[in-house]
């Protein structure tokens, strides 16, 4: 029976995994040790990833191979005792499906060869067919589920509408995304149109990952911290609410995680009231202990600065211990970095991070 606005929504937390620590924590259960996983836990810092990457002419070719993405997603699980797997993909797959000409330039990051420069370009984008072009992602999720069986939950993800729009308007990883912000302030109606259309597609994209086997859905708002409070509400949290509402209308019961930089009490207030949202990831600039006190019913994820790991395993252990000491780790905490692992990260430091968390159990 489809849910209505009057229905009390409760995310569905599957507990039939061999390791269900992550889902139990998101469900608010008291656990003896916080679960741990890492954004970009599969990637360039691992030599086995670099070996696989050499077999493909470009990054997106790798992403389109279900066998390769499954292998890459499994690699960190072989090395480390992690509590969740995450499908290997990218936050810009939707932009790629919209014929934006996505390429990844060595040492420069993503480049969109056909960025949006005028409002009338938005409605000309192939929104109606883009989900069909993302079938390779759903195949990757299904392949990973088959490989994992009941071992661990899988996280499916998407970039947030605002973060996707930043690249679609600027065309590359502009330092402050001034081009995107200028478009938003100059063409507010067109910007709202773009974000709403991206929100609708993002909800469908996440839903199809759920259907394919993802247990947790993750919306990553990397560039939300560039916005002032009022525009964060309009461009980020309102769009997250729209995505979650659409997921509920599709009877998607998966818990939703959300990450953004620069989250504060004011920014979090509307987000914690979204029924689907079960976990919020914060960066190292956020006062996570204070946020835990102010929102005791929300699970928080974070929030060590990834650069700390570059200082080596001893320093990593010290900083992780201090982080855990400050947090309410007896409940509603996912131990993680405040953003993704950097490519030059020493593997010994990753071991130190995870082992220090495990020692809390």
Q: Which residues have a catalytic role annotated? A: 40, 44, 53, 90, 167
End-to-end Cα separation, the chain, in angstroms? 41
Indicate the helix (H) or strand (E) that contains 307.
Answer: none
* Residue-level length of the chain: 361
Cα radius of gyration rounded to whole Å, the chain: 19
| Residue 126 exposed, middle or buried by CB count within 10 Å (0-12, 13-18, 19+) | exposed
Task: Give the Cα separation of 211 and 139 in Å (integer).
Answer: 11
DSSP SS3 for 37: coil
For residue 44, what are its two tokens?
């360039």
> What is the number of alpha carbons within 13 Å of residue 140 lying toward its C-beta?
28
For residue 45, what are its two tokens?
């810092």
| Count of other CB atoms within 10 angstroms of residue 136 | 16
Cα angle, residue 241 at apex, residues 293 and 282 outer, rounded to 5°: 40
Indicate the helix (H) or strand (E) that contains 277.
Answer: strand 277-281
């Amino acid at each position: 029976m489809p849910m209505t606005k009057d229905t009390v929504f409760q995310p569905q937390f599957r507990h039939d995994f061999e390791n269900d620590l992550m889902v139990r924590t998101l469900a608010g259960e008291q656990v003896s040790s916080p679960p741990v996983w890492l954004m970009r836990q599969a990637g360039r810092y691992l030599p086995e990833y670099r070996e696989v990457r050499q077999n493909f002419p470009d990054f997106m070719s790798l992403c389109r191979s279900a066998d390769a993405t499954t292998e890459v997603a499994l690699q960190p699980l072989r090395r480390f005792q992690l509590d969740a797997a995450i499908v290997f993909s990218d936050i810009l797959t939707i932009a790629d499906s919209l014929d934006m000409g996505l390429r990844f330039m060595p040492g420069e990051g993503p480049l969109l060869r056909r960025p949006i420069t005028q409002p009338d370009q938005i409605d000309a984008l192939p929104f109606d067919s883009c989900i069909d072009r993302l079938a390779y992602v759903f195949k990757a999720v299904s392949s990973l589920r088959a490989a994992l069986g009941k071992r661990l939950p899988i996280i499916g993800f998407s970039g947030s509408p605002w973060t996707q729009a930043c690249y679609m308007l600027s065309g590359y990883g502009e330092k402050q995304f001034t081009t995107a912000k200028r478009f938003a302030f100059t063409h507010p109606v067109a910007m709202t149109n773009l974000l709403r259309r991206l929100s609708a597609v993002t909800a469908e994209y996440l839903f199809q990952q759920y259907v394919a086997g993802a247990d947790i859905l993750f919306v990553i708002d990397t560039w939300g911290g560039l916005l002032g409070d009022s525009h964060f509400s309009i461009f980020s949290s309102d769009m997250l609410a729209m995505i979650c509402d659409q997921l509920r209308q599709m009877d998607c019961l998966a818990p939703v995680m959300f990450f953004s930089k620069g989250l504060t009490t004011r920014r979090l207030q509307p987000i914690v009231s979204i029924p689907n949202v079960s976990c919020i990831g914060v960066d190292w600039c956020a006062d996570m202990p204070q946020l835990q006190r102010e929102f005791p019913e929300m699970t928080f994820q974070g929030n060590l600065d990834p650069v700390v790991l570059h200082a080596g395993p001893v320093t990593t252990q010290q900083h992780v211990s201090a982080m855990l000491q400050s947090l309410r780790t007896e409940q509603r905490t996912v131990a993680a970095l405040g953003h993704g692992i950097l490519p030059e990260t020493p593997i010994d430091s990753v071991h130190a991070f995870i082992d220090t968390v495990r020692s809390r159990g």
